[in-house]
A and B are shown apart, each in its own frame.
Chain A
Amino acid sequence: MVPEAGALLVVSGVSKRFGGLLALSSVSFSVEAGQIYGVIGPNGAGKTTLFSCLVGAARPSGGEILFRGGRIDGLPNWAVVSRGLVRTHQIVRPFRQMTVRENVSVGAHFGAGRRRGSDAAARVDAILEKTGLAARANALAGTLTIGESKRLEIARALATEPSALCLDEVMGGLNPSEIQSAMTLIRTLKESGLTILMIEHHVHAVVGLSDRILVLNFGEKIAEGAPAAVMRDPAVVSAYLGEDAPAEATS
Chain B
Amino acid sequence: MIARPAPRNLPAAAAVVAALVLLLLAPRWLERGSLNDLWSIAFAIVLASAWNILGGFAGQISIGYSAFLGIGAYTTALLSLKGVGPYWTLALGALLGAAFSYVVGLPTFRLRGPYFTIATIGVSEAVRVYAAGVSYTGGSSGLRMPPGTFDFGRDYAAMMVLAAAVVLLSLWIRSSALGKALFAIRQDIDAAEALGIHSTRVKLIAHAVSAAIVALAGGLFAINFQYISPGSVFDFRLSLSIVLMPIVGGIGTVAGPILGAVIFSYLQIKLLSTPALRDSYLFLYGGLLMVVMLFEPRGLVGAWQRLQGLFRVPLRRKGVPGGA
Residues of A with Cβ closer than 8 Å to B?
Answer: 55, 57, 76-79, 81-82, 86-87, 89, 93-99, 101-102, 105-107, 109-112, 116, 120, 138-140, 142-143, 156-157, 159-160
A97 and B3 in contact, given A106-B180, A140-B319, A143-B321 (Cβ under 8 angstroms): yes
Q: Quick check: B191 and A78 within 8 Å, CB to CB?
A: no
A99 to B3, CA, bound (A): 8
Contact stretch, chosen from B34-42, B182-190, B205-213, B231-239:
B182-190
In the complex, what's the smallest C-beta–C-beta distance from A225 to chain B, in angstroms? 30
On whether the beta carbons of B196 and A81 are closer than 8 Å, the reply is: yes
Contacts known (A95-B188, A140-B320, A143-B320); A77 close to B193, Cβ less than 8 A:
yes
A97-B187, A98-B187 known; A86-B195 Cβ under 8 A: yes
What is the chain B residue whose CB lies nearest that of A82?
B196
B1 within 8 A of A: yes
Chain B residues with a Cβ closer than 8 Å to the other chain, count: 29
Assess the A106–B199 pair: CB atoms within 8 A. Answer: no
Is the beta-carbon distance between A86 and B196 smaller than 8 angstroms?
yes
> Closest approach, in angstroms, between the C-beta of B1 and any C-beta of chain A?
7
Chain A residues within 8 Å of B198, by CB? 76, 78-79, 110
Which one, B4, B177, B184, B195, contacts A116 given CB within 8 A? B177
Q: CB distance B193 to A109 under 8 Å?
A: no
**Most interface-central of A78, A86, A120 (chain B CB within 10 A):** A78
Q: Which 6 A-B pairs have the closest CB atoms?
A: A81-B196, A111-B196, A110-B196, A109-B177, A143-B319, A93-B191
A141 to B194, CA, bound (A): 17
- Taking A106-B184, A143-B321 as given, write out 18 further A-B residue pairs in contact, using a Cβ cutoff of 8 Å, ordered by the A residue number: A77-B190, A78-B197, A81-B196, A82-B196, A86-B194, A86-B195, A86-B196, A93-B188, A95-B184, A98-B2, A98-B187, A105-B180, A106-B181, A110-B196, A111-B196, A138-B5, A143-B319, A143-B320
Q: Which residue of B lies closest to A87 (CB)?
A: B194
CB-defined contacts of A156 to chain B, threshold 8 Å: 195
Shortest Cβ gap from B180 to chain A (Å): 5
Q: How far is the CA of A86 from the CA of B191 in the complex (A)?
A: 11
**Is B310 in contact with chain A by the CB < 8 A criterion?**
no
Which residue numbers of B lie inside 8 Å of A, CB to CB?
1-6, 177, 180-181, 183-184, 187-188, 190-199, 317, 319-321, 323-324
Please determine whether A93 and B190 come into contact, CB atoms closer than 8 angstroms.
Answer: yes
- Indicate whether A76 sits within 8 Å of B193 (C-beta atoms), given known contacts A95-B183, A116-B177: yes
Inter-chain contact A139/B319, CB cutoff 8 Å: yes
- The distance from the CB of A231 to the nearest CB of chain B, in whole angstroms, is 31
**Closest approach, in angstroms, between the C-beta of B87 and any C-beta of chain A?**
34
Q: How far is the CA of A87 from the CA of B195 in the complex (A)?
A: 8
